[in-house]
Amino acid sequence: MTIRAAADGSALGNPGPAGWAWYVNDDCWAAGGWKHATNNQAELTAVLQLLRATAHVPDELLILCDSQYVINCVTRWMPGWKKKGWRKADGKPVMNVELLKELDQALVGRRYRFEWVKGHANHPLNEAADARARAVSEAYQRGTTVPSGPGFVRDGERRVERPAATELAAAARPTTGTGTPPLFSLDGQASTEDRPAEIPLLLHLTPAEHERLLARAKRRGTSPEQLLKELI
The yes-or-no answer on residue 130 being catalytic is yes
Query: Annotated catalytic residue: which of 56, 90, 109, 120?
Result: 120
Query: Annotated catalytic residue: which of 8, 19, 149, 225?
Result: 8
Query: Annotated catalytic residue: which of 43, 210, 221, 225?
Result: 43
Give 27's DSSP letter.
T
Residue 156 burial (CB count, 10 A): 5
CB-based contact 159:152 (threshold 8 Å): no
Query: Annotated catalytic residue: which of 130, 149, 167, 221?
Result: 130
Query: Annotated catalytic residue: which of 9, 32, 33, 221?
Result: 9
Distance CA 50, CA 61 (A): 9
Cis peptide bond upstream of 15, omega within 30: yes
Query: Annotated catalytic residue: which of 19, 32, 33, 66?
Result: 66
Q: Which uninterrupted H or E stretch holds 135?
A: helix 124-142
Distance CA 35, CA 14 (A): 11
CB-based contact 41:57 (threshold 8 Å): no
CB-based contact 167:35 (threshold 8 Å): yes
Q: 5-28 burial, b for 16+ CB within 10 Å, e for fewer?
A: bbbbbbbbeeebbbbbbbbbeeeb
The yes-or-no answer on residue 187 being catalytic is no
The yes-or-no answer on residue 104 being catalytic is no
CB-based contact 164:147 (threshold 8 Å): yes
Distance CA 195, CA 49 (A): 31
The yes-or-no answer on residue 149 being catalytic is no
Active site residues: 8-9, 43, 66, 120, 130
